Amino acid sequence: MIRMEGLLLYRNGKTILRDVSWEVKDGEHWAILGLNGSGKTTLLKVINGYLWPNEGSVQVLGETFGKTDIREIRKSIGWVSAAMVEEFDRRDPAIEVVLSGKYGAIRLFESVTEEEIAEGVRMMMRFGISHLANSAFEYLSQGERQRVQIARAMMAKPKLLILDEPCTGLDLVEREHLLNTIRELAEEGNVTILYVTHHVEEVLPCFTHTLLMRDGQVFAQGESTLLLNEDTLSSFFNHDIAVRLEKGRAWVAVK
Ligand SMILES: Nc1ncnc2c1ncn2[C@@H]1O[C@H](COP(=O)(O)OP(=O)(O)OP(=O)(O)O)[C@@H](O)[C@H]1O
Ligand SMILES: [Mg+2]
C-alpha–C-alpha distance, residues 152 and 87, integer Å:
13
Give the C-alpha distances (Å, rounded to integers) separating 5 from 2, 56, 200, 240.
10, 5, 26, 32
DSSP 88: S
d(CA 44, CA 59): 13
Q: Is the CB of 162 under 6 A from ligand 1?
A: no
Tell me: pLDDT of 106 over 80.
Answer: no
Predicted confidence band of residue 86 (pLDDT cuts 50, 70, 90): confident
CA 53 to chain centre: 20
- Over range 49-66, report the average pLDDT: 92
Which has the closest alpha carbon to 72: 80, 82, 62?
62
What is the side-by-side strand order in the sheet with 209-214?
77-81, 160-164, 192-197, 30-34, 209-214, 217-223
Angle of helix 142-154 relative to helix 114-126, nearest 10 degrees, comes to 130
Lowest mean pLDDT among 40-54, 105-119, 133-147: 105-119
Judge if the beta carbon of residue 6 lies within 6 A of ligand 1: no
Segment of 1-5, 81-85, 140-144 carrying the highest mean pLDDT: 1-5
Ligand 1 contact via 11 beta carbon (within 6 Å): yes
pLDDT in tens, 21-46: 999 999 999 999 999 999 999 999 99
Does residue 247 line the site of ligand 1, with CB under 6 A?
no
Predicted TM-score of the model (pTM) = 0.93
- 208: which residues sit within 8 A by CB, 6+ positions away? 28, 29, 30, 223, 224
Our answer on whether the CB atom of 147 is closer than 6 Å to any ligand 1 atom is no
Tell whether the model's pLDDT for residue 70 goes beyond 90: no
pLDDT at residue 87 in the model: 75
In this prediction, residue 123 carries a pLDDT of 95
200-234 pLDDT, tens digit each: 999 999 999 999 999 999 999 999 999 999 999 99
Residue 60, beta-bridge partner list: 2, 63
User: Which tens digit of pLDDT belongs to each residue from 183-204?
Assistant: 999 999 899 999 999 999 999 9
pLDDT at 109: 67
* CATH number given to 1-76+160-224: 3.40.50.300
DSSP structure class, residue 201: G
What's the 11 CA to ligand 1 centre distance in angstroms?
10
Q: Tell me what the pLDDT averaged over the chain comes to.
A: 92
Which atom, in ligand 1's list, is nearest to the CA of 42? 18
Mean pLDDT of the region 230-253: 95
Pick from 7, 10, 16 the residue to mutate for probing ligand 1's pocket: most ligand atoms within 8 Å of its CB.
16
Smallest CA separation from ligand 1 atom 17, residue: 41
Q: Where are the domains of the chain?
A: 1-76+160-224, 87-157
Task: Label residue 66 exposed, middle or buried (CB < 10 Å: 0-12, 13-18, 19+).
Answer: exposed
User: Which ligand is closest to the CA of 163, given by its number?
Assistant: 2
Taking the alpha carbons at both ends of the chain, their separation in whole angstroms is 38
Strand order in the sheet with 2-11: 14-24, 2-11, 55-60, 63-64
